[in-house]
Amino acid sequence: MQLWRQRIWTNNKGNIAISEVGVRVFAFEEQPVPGTPYRVVLPESIRELPAAGVECLDTPAPDAHMQRIRVHGMGAVDVPGNRVLVVQQYRTPEMDYFSERALPFLRVKRVTSQQVIPLKKSGSTRVTRPGGARGAGMGLN
């Protein structure tokens, strides 16, 4: 199976380099749910397959965000189930929102009609419902 291996992710702080940790492969049995368009996988049908081979199919430029890879088996022909899932694992740098100092910015409280939510340094506004009626909203501590 061929897939893209991510090398760089982007968030609100810009690009961050990620590194590949490994590939895991799972086989499972997918079954239809009678009378519906849905399908189900029973947890007992999921089996992890032995370590897979991973082959890099290209040599990307240093600033490329992804690389094409091929994941293949190592000779097993008696794979259980009717589907296979390949999981690419990554290691990412710790983000600021895991910092102990970030907790006050992550707490959310209920805003009453009497509270003012600052929208910018030079001013503030009240939370209002459509039509001008003041009401409850959400704001950050």
Record the tokens describing residue 10, joined without a space.
């982007």
pLDDT at 79: 74
Sorted by sequence, the CB contacts under 8 Å of residue 34 that are 6+ apart come out as none
Contacts within 8 Å (CB) and 24+ apart, 109-116: 109/138, 109/139, 109/141, 110/136, 110/138, 111/136, 111/137, 111/138, 111/139, 112/136, 115/139
pLDDT tens digit string along 69-126? 999 887 666 777 889 899 999 988 766 556 666 666 666 555 555 666 665 555 444 4
pLDDT at 17: 87
pLDDT at 129: 45
DSSP run (H or E) holding 106 = helix 103-106
pLDDT tens digit string along 33-62? 999 999 999 999 999 988 678 999 988 888
Q: Number of C-alpha atoms within 13 angstroms, CB side, residue 78?
A: 0
Record the tokens describing residue 126, joined without a space.
């009240």
